[in-house]
Amino acid sequence: MTSPLLSAEHSAQPSAHPFAHLTPQAVLDALDAVGQRGDGRLLQLNSYENRVFQVMLEDGGAVVAKFYRPGRWSDAQISEEHAFAAELDRAEVPVVAPLRLSGSPHDGQTLAHALIDGHAFRLAVYPRRAGHGPELDDAGTLRWLGRFIARLHAVGEQRRFTHRRTLDAQTFGHAPLARLLAQDIIPPAQLTGWRDACQQALAAVDTALAAHPACHIRLHGDCHPGNILWRDSDAGQGGPHIVDLDDAVMGPAIQDLWMLLSGSPGAMRGQLAAVLQGYRQIRDFDNAELALIEPLRTLRMVHHSAWLAERWDDPAFPAAFPWFGGASYWGQQTTQLREQIELMAEPPLDLSGLDQ
């Protein structure tokens, strides 16, 4: 059997759908080459950006194999992700860190390169961990999540990313807008309205970020409830944990908190107060960052549209997001961006009397 490993310098042949080459046999061969011998049973897990498989091993164990989307991250960026996970693990912050692999040329490393049908993939392997979503209607859970994220941030602020992205208006707003316009995918009837609303919204984001400069630290970056697994109590190992830091960035602390909020402004006020009660038990929080919630939400909206558009040649995306790209989608985005402009003009959430 030919080893699927290759050096980091190898350049794969272009392909419209490289993930189509990740057949069960190809996945098993790639894992065998890094010292993880599967018994033939594997299950593709829910992931759109990358391809992730649960693989049962011959020794009776199980691992999760992650094949990174080709061309998205460099080796240096992934190495920073893995190093951050290792730091969190050493600090006993509940995170599933990548395993060290075996076999030349990557022995002892956490990142391997696999060549499959002429296509280059980056590969990492993780222990399997189970869990379910957190109960966000429970104040005790929110306080626990606040403590958990504060512990993550306490590690994150100890040093900076050098190669990974920074969450700012250019990277997550203006650049995605330019790419969307260059793709010429927005129906003519919706183009002017969406473009004007997006430009106005990003101008408001620029103003807000300039008025409320925040300290940037290493973050999870995509800390919505779907990316947090809750483990029921098991020998003191219950509570929240994270299994992936794929979107880790430099940014303001509030980025890892606001996506836990939902509902009316009153409901979000109570939720955020509970989260911060837990957070402040571990780490200080600057209330000035509350003014960044709606600007950050706006950046996420624009970035998400560009993300979908740029992944549309991956067959998984039209199947999972059939509502994307039509006139109704862009019309809805225009309406939501106009709502964001209004929200960014309003005072931030007031936690007076609730956040202490």
- Helices 175-183, 293-310: axis angle to 10 degrees equals 30
Catalytic-labelled residue, pool 29, 168, 244, 355 = 244
Whether 247 is a known active-site residue: answer no
Catalytic-labelled residue, pool 222, 246, 256, 314 = 222
Longest dimension (CA), the chain: 67
Cα–Cα dist 121/13, whole Å: 11
Residues 6+ apart with CB under 8 A from 94: 148, 231, 237, 239, 240, 241, 242
Q: In which residue are the tokens 């300290």 written? A: 215
Contact by Cβ (8 Å): 58, 24: no
Q: In which residue are the tokens 């709606």 written? A: 294
The count of C-alpha atoms lying within 13 angstroms of the C-alpha of 316, restricted to the half-sphere facing its C-beta, is 16
Whether 222 is a known active-site residue: answer yes
Cα–Cα dist 69/344, whole Å: 34
Active-site positions read: 222, 244
